[in-house]
A = this chain, B = another copy of it.
Amino acid sequence: ESGSFKQVARILNHGLSPTDIAHLLESSPPKERNLLWKLVDKDLEGEVLLYLNDDIRAYFLSKLNAQELASVTEDFETDDLVDLLQQLPDTVIEEVLHSMDAQDRQRIEEVLSYQEDTAGGLMNTDTVTIRPDISIDVVLRYLRRHKSLPEMTDSLLVVNRKDDFIGVLPLTTMLVSSPNATVREVMNTDIEAIPVEMTRTDIATLFERRDLVSAPVVNQNGKLVGRITIDDVVDVIREDADHSLMSMAGLDEDEDTFAPVMKTAKRRAVWLGINLITAFIASAVIGLFEQTIEKVVALAVLMPIVASMGGIAGSQALTLVIRGIAVGQIGGSNIRWLLSKEFVVGALNGVLWASVVSVAAIAWFNDPKIGIIIAAAMLINLIAAALAGTSLPLLLKARNIDPALAGGVILTTVTDVVGFMSFLGLATIMYA
């Protein structure tokens, strides 16, 4: 068995890239994951950690002591190291910083001082800077003195003696320029640098709209402090998009699919508990009409239709608005238009499906009254659902509550209460 272990270890460490290893770990149940992790070469551990999702990374990090951590992260770029440090307890951060030389420590401490979800937290400090007055020929010779250039270097950053950001010189521009031209003559000064406090989501939007590969980051005084590269932005885009999807089911985007049973069970229990409150509220509404149901038991048979159709219609509006907010499409000027549109859409579909359901109900229970009641209730609930689905995300957002997380629960409460209340309420009047 030790022979086959060695074989697995060889394939793992020599046949796969660190991202592939990370993916394999993420796709493995806990036992296999721990086994595989032990087989990963010491000098690959650091890079593999980088590509793991937060949940799993935190788990493996917790098994390393400060010394192991320091050796694992030796060759890390600043942004990667900071990402990783941010997941550690303060005492461990202290120890790791302590094990570094003064210059590295200072650089790390600076980046650590920025908020994790801002340009400062996302940026790298490995910029290649040049002065505006030198010639392209000198730049080429300067570059040749490097053993390598940082990854994703698509442009050189132009700064003055005081490190004030002046412009960028894309490599593609430099390569078609005359060697005698000066940097100033060919550089691009149209580029707005990213302020160090810009949020991750805004940065992602900027990269997407401007098709950027990298962008300079400046502090409040216009001094160049680092650069952001598309590989990190892609991660932000992926995480933001995942966030909406996962939150709507009460999940975390860093959720580990193969987390141990107890961890998953606990997280899920909380979400079920919150939704149980909604369910009890709906039951309480039904409870108000017990006598009516006792008289006309067909009501109990049909009532879930009204509630569930409201839920479906509402969640369509809710999802559309949550996505619209996330991509910055919905704001002050178009909300009124959107609300009235969704109202009309709700009413039109209300009329359509109320007619269908009404005919079916009359045919089923041979009772015209029940057809009228369910048609009216459906219409009321579909309109309520459209209005709630559209306005809820905006109301929650304004109160700094995540619409993707809270929207669905509140919406269900609305459509259940309105659905049962209108259907059973109308029935109580009509069958009185």
Total number of A residues with any Cβ neighbor in B under 8 Å: 113
A153: chain B residues within 8 A (beta carbon): 172
Does A337 touch B at the CB level, under 8 Å?
A: yes
Q: A257, B316: Cβ atoms under 8 Å?
A: no
Q: Assuming A154-B154, A265-B349, is B313 touching A272 (CB within 8 A)? A: yes
Q: Is the CB of A300 within 8 A of B286?
A: yes
Residue of B with least CB distance to A274: B312
Q: Shortest beta-carbon distance, A66 to chain B, in Å?
A: 29
| Residues of chain B lying within 8 A (CB to CB) of residue A19 | 209-210
Chain A, 273-307, contact with B by CB distance < 8 Å: what is the 0/1 string? 10110111011001100100110011111111101
Judge if A319 is at the interface, Cβ distance under 8 Å.
yes
Contact of A334 with B147 at beta-carbon distance under 8 Å, contacts A283-B304, A353-B276 already known = no
Query: Given A237-B237, A261-B344, A272-B313, do A27 and B305 touch, yes or no (CB 8 Å)?
Result: no
CB pair B304 A257 closer than 8 Å: no
Are the CB atoms of B29 and A176 closer together than 8 Å? Answer: no
Q: Is A9 located at the chain interface by the 8 A CB criterion?
A: no
Chain B nearest Cβ from A363, distance in angstroms? 12
With a 10 A CB-CB cut-off, give which of A154, A318, A328 has the most chain B CB atoms: A154
The answer on a CB contact under 8 Å between B319 and A275 is no
Does residue A352 face the partner (Cβ distance < 8 Å to B)?
A: yes
Residue pair A309, B234 in contact (C-beta under 8 Å): no
Task: Supply 11 A–B pairs (Cβ within 8 Å), ascending by A.
Answer: A17-B209, A29-B334, A245-B245, A245-B323, A257-B329, A261-B341, A273-B353, A280-B360, A286-B304, A293-B300, A304-B416
Residues of A within 8 A of B (CB): 17, 19-20, 23, 26-29, 51, 140, 143-144, 146-154, 171-173, 175-178, 207-211, 213, 230-231, 234, 237-238, 241-242, 244-246, 248-251, 255, 257-258, 261, 264-265, 268-269, 271-273, 275-276, 278-280, 282-283, 286-287, 290, 293-294, 297-305, 307-309, 312-313, 315-316, 318-321, 323-324, 328-331, 334, 337-338, 341, 344-345, 348-349, 352-353, 356-357, 360, 364, 412, 416
